[in-house]
Amino acid sequence: MNNPLTAPARRRVVLLATGGTIAGVGQAGKTIGYRPGSLTVEQILSAVPEVRSVAEIEAIQICNVNSDDITAELWIELAKTINRMAGDPDVAGFVITHGTDTLEETAYFLNLTVKTDKPVVITGSMRPSTSISADGPMNLYQAVCVAVSEEAMGKGVLAVFSDRIYAARSVTKTSNYHVAAISAGETGAIGVVRDGDVFFYESPGRKHTTQTVFDVSGMTGLPRVSILYFAVDADVDLLRFAAERSDGLVIAGAGAGEFSKRFRDVIRGLTIPVVISSRIDSSVITGDNLLCPNTIAANSLSPQKAAILLRLALASGCRDLASLYMEY
């Protein structure tokens, strides 16, 4: 019989389900034309009973949506749930199931707002549950293995996908058809999972989780930040319109965050914060690149992640935005 004093404590993982293709159902064998966010968290779990041998699972259905319908309110609910439950000594870590379209945005928001060193792991799938070789069960299994890994502690929010572990700041969707659709550009994966064995090789370099200034406890929503994508002949009236109805702007500029003289003339006159990012994947923007003195460099953050940092900074009354983009 097990000695309760010496037996290893049973590890509990909180599984927060939000929908996406991992909960998708469609025509048997097909990978397109399915409905994301159809299976409940219990149905997703029933396809991968092996998970129960890794940890006891406490499953919570936060929502069941296509991840393009995720909102700031759902982000805040996720962060508050994690912050509340992280204090429970029986909880080893958290896994979030999510659609791949905006997985990187939820990962980065949580990376800036959860206040725990316990692993918070986000995963999803490219193939719906009804397709041939659905990838959801293995991704979920490996995410749970990472969530109970001691080595994953203190690394910020992680994404686990197709045998690889990514840091929230750099993870991004790079394909809309390939099964290994999640990647991390120049910085790459920080670890791998072989079946259930977890190996880390790197640690995230930017501040996250307990090291950030953001506190979601009093938040119910986020300020409005619009992203403007620059291309040849981009319409400056759209820029003016977005600026009028937004608390801040992010420009997805060309190359090193550049845009036309007409864009420049409008941006120079704006009084709301304007963050300059780039529409290209491999980009680093510094203060020296800026065409307008009243703008802020996003460094290597993608436009969608630069917008999340700006929304949180505005919600928190942060003044030194340029420093935030160098630290987070």
Does 99 sit near ligand ASP (CB under 6 A)? yes
Report phi then psi at 202, rounded to 5.
-140, 165
Query: Measured from the CB of residue 286, what is the shortest distance to ligand ASP in angstroms?
Result: 32
The footprint of ligand ASP on residues 60-89 (CB under 6 A) is 66-67
Q: How many other C-beta atoms can be found within 10 angstroms of the C-beta atom of residue 151?
A: 14
Question: How would DSSP label each residue in 214-244?
Answer: ---TT-S----EEEEE--TT--HHHHHHHHH
Contact 275, 311 (CB under 8 A): no
DSSP conformation class of 313: H
Catalytic residue among 18, 21, 116, 130: 21
Does 136 sit near ligand ASP (CB under 6 A)? no
Q: How many other C-beta atoms can be found within 10 angstroms of the C-beta atom of residue 298?
A: 27
Please, which residue, 98 or 206, has the CB nearer to ligand ASP?
98
Please, which residue, 122 or 312, has the CB nearer to ligand ASP?
122
Tokens of 317: 């009354």
Residue closest to ligand ASP when measured from CB atoms:
99
Please, which residue, 21 or 142, has the CB nearer to ligand ASP?
21
Is 209 part of the annotated catalytic residue set? no
DSSP conformation class of 102: S
CA gap 301, 308 in Å, rounded: 10
DSSP conformation class of 205: -
User: Which residue of 114, 126, 140, 157 would you call a contact of ligand ASP, by CB under 6 A?
Assistant: 126
User: Which residue of 14, 21, 226, 303 would you call a contact of ligand ASP, by CB under 6 A?
Assistant: 21
Does 149 sit near ligand ASP (CB under 6 A)? no
Contact 137, 46 (CB under 8 A): no
Query: Measured from the CB of residue 101, what is the shortest distance to ligand ASP in angstroms?
Result: 3
CA nearest 18: which of 93, 117, 95?
Answer: 95
Does 124 sit near ligand ASP (CB under 6 A)? yes
N-terminal to C-terminal alpha carbon distance within the chain: 49
CA gap 293, 305 in Å, rounded: 22
| Host H or E run for residue 314 | helix 303-315
Of 97-105, 138-146, 163-171, 194-202, which part binds ligand ASP (CB under 6 A)? 97-105
Query: Measured from the CB of residue 97, what is the shortest distance to ligand ASP in angstroms?
Result: 9
Does 36 sit near ligand ASP (CB under 6 A)? yes
Of 96-104, 107-115, 208-216, 300-308, which part binds ligand ASP (CB under 6 A)? 96-104
Please, which residue, 33 or 317, has the CB nearer to ligand ASP?
33
Place of tokens 């029933």: 46
Query: Measured from the CB of residue 289, what is the shortest distance to ligand ASP in angstroms?
Result: 32
The footprint of ligand ASP on residues 285-324 (CB under 6 A) is none
- What is the SS3 assignment for 173? strand
Does 123 sit near ligand ASP (CB under 6 A)? no
Report phi then psi at 145, rounded to 5.
-60, -40
User: Which residue of 15, 20, 95, 291 would you call a contact of ligand ASP, by CB under 6 A?
Assistant: 20
Does 137 sit near ligand ASP (CB under 6 A)? no
Write out the residues near ligand ASP by the rule CB under 6 A: 20-21, 36, 66-67, 99-101, 124, 126
Q: Which residues are catalytic?
A: 21
